[in-house]
Amino acid sequence: MIFGAVLAGGIGTRMHMADMPKQFLSLGDKPIIVHTVEKFLTCTDFDQIYIGVHPDWMGYMDDLLEKYTAYARDRIQIIAGGTDRNSTILNVVRAIEEGFGESDEHIIVTHDAVRPFVTLRMLEESIQAAREFGAADTVMPAVDTIVESVDGQVISDIPPRSRMYQGQTPQSFRVSLLKSLYLSLSEEEKGILTDACKICVVRNYPVHLVRGAETNIKITTPGDYKIAQAMVGAITGD
């Protein structure tokens, strides 16, 4: 079975634009997260879509689903998010196992709630790659030269740009693989995780690359939000 996991457990400390998490800000005629969920609903591969939300905002999220996606409410479940990204994903994994049992065939597709321009092509290719390889990340080749600095003051290294990629989401995995790798990590190893794919990298499990898109932006800052508003306007013809 295939499960979507829209990650919306954060509170958006870098936005500084509203008294609510950034995923609930309006984008065009509906909240950012609703755009994202609607993209997931276009993918018929999903047996169930989970939304991991901060516990204080679960009721608000439920109201949004009733308003915008009541037609597909039976395909969506809201669960409490964890203290960080990966703990939210593990909460989704527990919900999957409670509702559908454990299986080596289960696939989970994790995605940032604030990447509302994900496409059906990305979702389908990510699912297929996870089925075939066990783990998949959505990436774009780096356009700019990447500069490394250990101390933030001087350049430590300039890696070859041909080997550099910018990570996006979705990131997809066999549920049993992701869970077993995560549980094998020490607390120190868990402390260096930046996203779910890092779980695989730390354990030297190969992660297959899926092509993303320049338009698959993550709305994190006020500048990102302005760009996203312009993109929605261009799409709708406003």
Q: Is residue 238 part of a domain?
A: no
Q: Is residue 19 part of a domain?
A: yes
Q: Is residue 131 part of a domain?
A: yes
Torsion, Cα 40 126 142 33, to 10 degrees, reads 20
Q: What is the pLDDT of residues 60-92, one digit of tens each?
A: 999 999 999 999 999 999 999 988 888 899 999
- The number of folded domains in the chain is 1
Taking Cα atoms as reference points, which of 110, 115, 113, 84 lies closest to residue 96?
Answer: 110
Phi, psi for residue 130 in degrees, rounded to 5: -65, -40
Q: Is residue 154 part of a domain?
A: yes
Q: Is residue 74 part of a domain?
A: yes
Give me the domain span that covers residue 53: 2-233
CATH label of the domain that carries residue 171: 3.90.550.10
Structure pTM? 0.91
Q: What is the pLDDT of residues 7-55, one digit of tens each?
A: 997 665 555 556 788 999 999 999 999 999 999 999 999 999 999 999 9
Q: Is residue 133 part of a domain?
A: yes
Phi, psi for residue 49 in degrees, rounded to 5: -120, 125
Q: What is the pLDDT of residues 184-229, one digit of tens each?
A: 988 888 888 888 999 999 999 999 999 999 999 999 999 999 999 9
